[in-house]
Amino acid sequence: MKHRTLGTNGPWVSSVGLGCMGMSVAYGVPDTAESERTLDRALDLGVDFLDTADAYGRGANEELLGAWLRRRASERSRVVLATKFGLRHDPESGRVDGVDTSAAYVRTACHASLRRLGVDHIDLYCAHRRDPATPIEETVGAMAELVEAGDIRYLALSEVGTDTLRRAHAVHPISAIQLEYSLFTRDVVEGDMLDTCRELGISVVAYSPLGRAMLTGSITSVDELSSGDNRRRWPRFAEENLGHNLRLVEAVHRAAGEIGCTPAQAALAWLLAQGDDIVPIPGTKRRRYLEENAAAVDVILTEEQCEMLRNAVPDGAVAGGRYPEQAMSRLGH
């Protein structure tokens, strides 16, 4: 496994990380035993950058990782553990109903995550979303106090704009910003955001780098998804958009065939080729997909192959927004 540094002086992480959300919530039926085997296999392969959040299953995903970490306690130093805070849930429906990034909540959320994870520190602590009513300086100031206390090592933000990122970085160095970035979603990162990150020395952690599995070519109909799968209510998977988007996936599949790899590997290799400051975190709970994704670090694309993949999904070609309207309203761009 190859590695990259997050930010100017941040943690040294595997070039392809592992998003753990789907092990507990959102994508199909959880499989704890297979998830733990997948985490074991990740360490075997050198995939040491593990990403979770307190919002994933209202703490369930952190608890799953905590149980696994207790079993692998002697190898804690091999894991770069990232978690996020800020999303709050309605106690009755269980759905996210607000964002809290106040200083008091930063401390409360961090200590709760430490308990669930069963660790004495979090390697990368990330504000999941930004509460516009709370100055970013307050949020990052509280996070910086947690660094001083030894509870966390490095800071990250997710889904904020360039002005917010600059203000945050002025308070305490930000090692990474987590943003959706893939062949399907390029406008969020490319342009002003990426220029700002490179000016400040901040890496991009690319979540949903496979378009929530659509880019793998494994999904041809929402009927293949379980009844509780979140993708059933996301615009790009809606009946009026899916057929169009799958034709774009077919173009990626053809390009991958010419390159000599799987569509997933082509999509991840394309992200890796955008710069050493890009770290994708594809999510899976299955060992076979983890192994396929990890092997993308060995797919070295030429400039012509990168352009071929970019042209397979022209700018603005994807139909449908990346989140339902309510979730889009919580993004801080």
Q: How far apart are CA 299 and CA 74, in angstroms?
A: 32
| Pure H helices in the chain | 32-45, 60-71, 103-117, 136-149, 162-171, 192-200, 239-259, 263-272, 287-294, 303-312, 325-328
Q: How far apart are CA 295 and CA 16, in angstroms?
A: 9
Counting Cα atoms < 13 Å in the Cβ hemisphere of 286 gives: 8
The distance from CA 213 to its chain's CA centroid, rounded to whole angstroms, is: 13
Q: How far apart are CA 119 and CA 131, in angstroms?
A: 27
**Of 209, 211, 204, 174, nearest to 279 (Cα)?**
204
CB count within 10 Å of CB 156 equals 27
For helices 136-149 and 162-171, what crossing angle results, to 10°?
40
Q: How far apart are CA 331 and CA 128, in angstroms?
A: 10
Choosing from 56, 105, 181, 207, which is the catalytic residue?
Answer: 56
**Of 183, 252, 244, nearest to 217 (Cα)?**
252
For helices 162-171 and 192-200, what crossing angle results, to 10°?
10
Quickly list DSSP for 238-282: SHHHHHHHHHHHHHHHHHHHHHTS-HHHHHHHHHHTT-TTEEE--
Active site residue 56: yes
Specify which residues 18 forms β-bridges with.
50
**Ramachandran class of 58: left when φ > 0, alpha when ψ lies in -120 to 50, beta otherwise:** left
Q: Quick one: tokens of 313?
A: 């999904």
Active site residues: 56
